[in-house]
Structure 1
């Protein structure tokens, strides 16, 4: 099974992002657009794992969540990964308590490494919501106009209260995500993270 651990920005915020996607997606018809319901902020991508390892992933998420409190994030200002002329990925940025989210990511990677043999990605953690990907590995020039349209958006704040373990199933219509476990952030006795 293909598994990852993430946080969900919430239904209200996803509805606002959905409105934006309906407005800008016609500008890049060749791109592969993400369904708003599938938007999430990935903390750790496990990839393909044996079903017998799933309880270890859920236990790792639970042990990390026990030490971290809920936090507030802002979804704001987008951009693109890749070159300006041929962007590959269109995204929305994450602000607010990013330091607290980064601490959750770091602790989760460390716990998963010890309990499952997970190998963390060799790049800095940049929390974001992926909106679209180029179908062409060289990039899609049409995504540049979309990047300019999302460059100044501000969807406001969202409260993150749980870590979610997802299964990702690849289908001809795109990835389908199923929540396998939801673990509340508890962090009893720790203060609300600074912004």
Structure 2
């Protein structure tokens, strides 16, 4: 089960890095839009990475069920808030100045808000785990790991669209949309 949880976290870690692209950009409007979004991205990505690391570390070793529950609950809350902040950043930046920019923005915001809601649901699920019964607790963790696996495999199409073409190139030029270096990234 611990391996399944770690694998699920690896999938969700890939999603948080979806806002990093590659390439370069020369258009000022596109670069300005990317800067508005990317200035808000890196702190949220770090928050998600730290939460994923906490979840992974909680399942390793011999921690008490109550401690695992507490760590997971807080981590899922942090991830939910981070995705909400990412949705706000994309929403507040307005439509990107590219073809179908309004649709790209709307789709990305909806997907990020959806992820926020799903992690809020996981937080609730973790908070309701029965720590008095090890079998029920283990089953509850398995259910959470299964949900994490689904989240990690969920479609990232709207976010992928943001990193295509000139918009993706502009985002790649922004410091905030570059993959942050993290010694714990391999743990997630």
TM norm structure 2: 0.31
| Higher percent of residues as helix | 2
Greater fraction of residues in strand = 1
Bigger relative CO (Cα 8 Å, ≥ 6 apart): 2
